[in-house]
């Protein structure tokens, strides 16, 4: 990180690459009626996942700064499916963790 900057070099490029990938995956997700999970860089900070997820209208975003609530995510995705949206996009920062481990 550089002092006196709002974002580091490459941040805008990373966001745009993730957005492009999500845009391409969205058509596949829609045609196959699937939920696509996109993992982004961000072991300790979820800025890339958050910014690109918001910009791409992702259905759910997981970041390392917030505890992952799997049941809440599943609920949101099920509600969207019940409302007629038969596909979904989930953006996950690589540092997001599920604790405790779910008992599927």
Mean pLDDT of 44-73: 93
Confidence of residue 104 (pLDDT cuts 50, 70, 90): low
Q: Is the pLDDT of residue 10 over 90?
A: no
Instruction: Give me the sheet containing 60-62, strands edge to edge.
Output: 35-40, 88-93, 60-62
Question: 25 and 87 in contact (C-beta within 8 Å)?
Answer: no
| Predicted pLDDT at 103 | 66
d(CA 42, CA 52): 12
CB atoms within 10 A of CB 42: 20
Q: Is the pLDDT of residue 29 over 80?
A: yes
d(CA 39, CA 90): 9
Share of the chain above pLDDT 90, in %: 72
d(CA 35, CA 49): 17
């Amino acid at each position: 990180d550089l002092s006196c900057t709002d974002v580091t070099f490459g941040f805008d490029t990373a966001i745009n690459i993730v957005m492009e990938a999500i845009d391409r995956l969205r058509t596949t997700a829609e045609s196959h009626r699937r939920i696509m999970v996109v993992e982004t860089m961000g072991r300790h900070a979820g800025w890339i996942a958050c910014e690109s997820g918001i910009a791409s209208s992702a259905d759910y975003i997981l970041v390392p700064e917030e505890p992952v609530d799997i049941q809440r995510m599943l609920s949101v995705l099920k509600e969207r499916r019940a409302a007629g949206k038969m596909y979904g996009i989930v953006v996950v920062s690589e540092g997001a963790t599920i604790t405790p481990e779910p008992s599927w």
